[in-house]
Amino acid sequence: MENVNQDTGFGERSADMGGRMVNKDGSFNIRRIGIHVHHRVSNYQNMLTMKRWRFLIVILLVYLLINAVFTALYWLAGPEGLQGVDYQQDTWGQLKQLFFFSTQTLTTVGYGRINPVSELANWIAALESLVGFLSLAIATGLLYGRFSRPKAFIRFSNLIVYSQYKGGKALMFRLVCYKDDHLLMNAEIKVNVRIQTPDNTYRFYNLRLERSHVDSLVLNWTVVHPIDEDSPFYGLSQKEIVTLQPEIAANLTGFDEVYSSTVVARISYTIQDFKFGFKFLPMYFSKSKRTDLDLAKLNLIDQE
């Protein structure tokens, strides 16, 4: 084929690849091994990219761990180290007082009921104040990084249809920007396919699209690959296409006006996502003097 893609980012030994290229969530299906995890993993990047509930749990656990450590240090400093602690209570009650004093020192609140009096306790409190300033700065930086990190608010259809198109056939999937206050400008998409050859190796092809660029992604965008003489699927039956075990990967880039930055979104479709003889139904319609875009209809299809 004339449009064989030699620059896929997956190297030349594509026959050694296992599974799909791109996961359904847009991440690459690659696991790096061979060196220690300490050199492969970035804790800062993980904190920026992990799910919100995990991020909050990590922050809470670190906060509790720091205070637990300093609670133990205050306990080891002895009763004479701190003034205002009610040592008439049981051990658990004393530990709770020391723990809450630690939280006040860490956050520089300092209510004043309990205060350090011995030199050792003062050094521990001074160290905790320093740790508090540093941890607050780190947490603030992580929160800012998460909120300011550019993100493509794009949803792709869960399936790709093989349907009639202008007297021939075409493969189609669609996407939409689902945030009201986000608008992608100069959106561009590139699509390639990996197919399995009879000798169990893989080949990559760039797919020619009816339209690969839109100035403003306001409504949904149906991405169409006409199956003509330049298509690797030209002249193939449904059974033959299934035999090829194709994986179609799409990469979308665009300029987000809110972030004033370029954002990226990816998706891939395997043969299990193909729907033969179906078409997408419209997502938007006129209502009074405006156009309503129904995001719930992104995956709505019907038989031809």
Tens of pLDDT, residue by residue over 95-138, are 999 999 999 999 888 788 888 999 999 999 999 999 999 999 99
In this structure, the answer to whether residues 67 and 207 fall within a common structural domain is: no
HEC string for the chain: CCCECCCCCCCCCHHHCCCCCECCCCCECCCCCCCCHHHHCCHHHHHHHCCHHHHHHHHHHHHHHHHHHHHHHHHHHCHHHEECCCCCCCHHHHHHHHHHHHHHHHCCCCCCCCEECCHHHHHHHHHHHHHHHHHHHHHHHHHHHHHHCCCCCEEECCCEEEEEECCEEEEEEEEEECCCCCCEEEEEEEEEEEEECCCCCEEEEECCCCCCEEEEECCCEEEEEECCCCCCCCCCCHHHHHHHCCEEEEEEEEEECCCCEEEEEEEEECHHHEEECEEECCCEEEECCEEEECHHHCCCEEEC
In this structure, the answer to whether residues 164 and 279 fall within a common structural domain is: yes
pLDDT value for 14 = 53
Q: CATH no. for residue 48?
A: 1.10.287.70
Q: How far apart are CA 98 and CA 80, in angstroms?
A: 13
Q: Tell me the β-bridge partners of 180.
A: none
Residue 1 lies in a domain: no
Domain boundary pick from 119, 148, 177: 148
Residue 24 lies in a domain: no
Residue 34 lies in a domain: no
In this structure, the answer to whether residues 143 and 220 fall within a common structural domain is: no
In this structure, the answer to whether residues 198 and 276 fall within a common structural domain is: yes
pLDDT value for 5 = 56
Q: How many CB atoms lie within 10 A of CB 202?
A: 19
pLDDT value for 101 = 93
Domain boundary pick from 148, 180, 213: 148
In this structure, the answer to whether residues 238 and 98 fall within a common structural domain is: no
pLDDT, mean of each 10-residue run, the chain (304 residues): 54 58 74 72 82 93 96 90 88 92 90 88 94 93 87 91 92 92 89 84 89 91 93 92 92 89 91 93 84 91 88
Q: How far apart are CA 271 and CA 289, in angstroms?
A: 41
Q: How far apart are CA 216 and CA 244, in angstroms?
A: 35
In this structure, the answer to whether residues 139 and 200 fall within a common structural domain is: no
In this structure, the answer to whether residues 280 and 257 fall within a common structural domain is: yes
Residue 3 lies in a domain: no
Domain boundary pick from 125, 148, 171: 148
Cβ atoms of 98 and 66 closer than 8 Å? no
Residue 249 lies in a domain: yes
Residue 286 lies in a domain: yes
In this structure, the answer to whether residues 110 and 171 fall within a common structural domain is: no
In this structure, the answer to whether residues 211 and 120 fall within a common structural domain is: no
Q: CATH no. for residue 232?
A: 2.60.40.1400
By DSSP bridging, strand 274-276 and strand 160-165 are parallel
pLDDT value for 64 = 96
Residue 9 lies in a domain: no
In this structure, the answer to whether residues 113 and 167 fall within a common structural domain is: no
pTM to 2 decimal places: 0.73
pLDDT value for 18 = 63
> How many structural domains is the chain composed of?
2
Q: How many CB atoms lie within 10 A of CB 3?
A: 13
Tens of pLDDT, residue by residue over 197-211, are 777 778 889 999 999
Range of the domain at 238: 151-303
In this structure, the answer to whether residues 131 and 186 fall within a common structural domain is: no
In this structure, the answer to whether residues 96 and 187 fall within a common structural domain is: no
Q: Is the dihedral of CA 207, 212, 218, 222 positive or negative?
A: negative
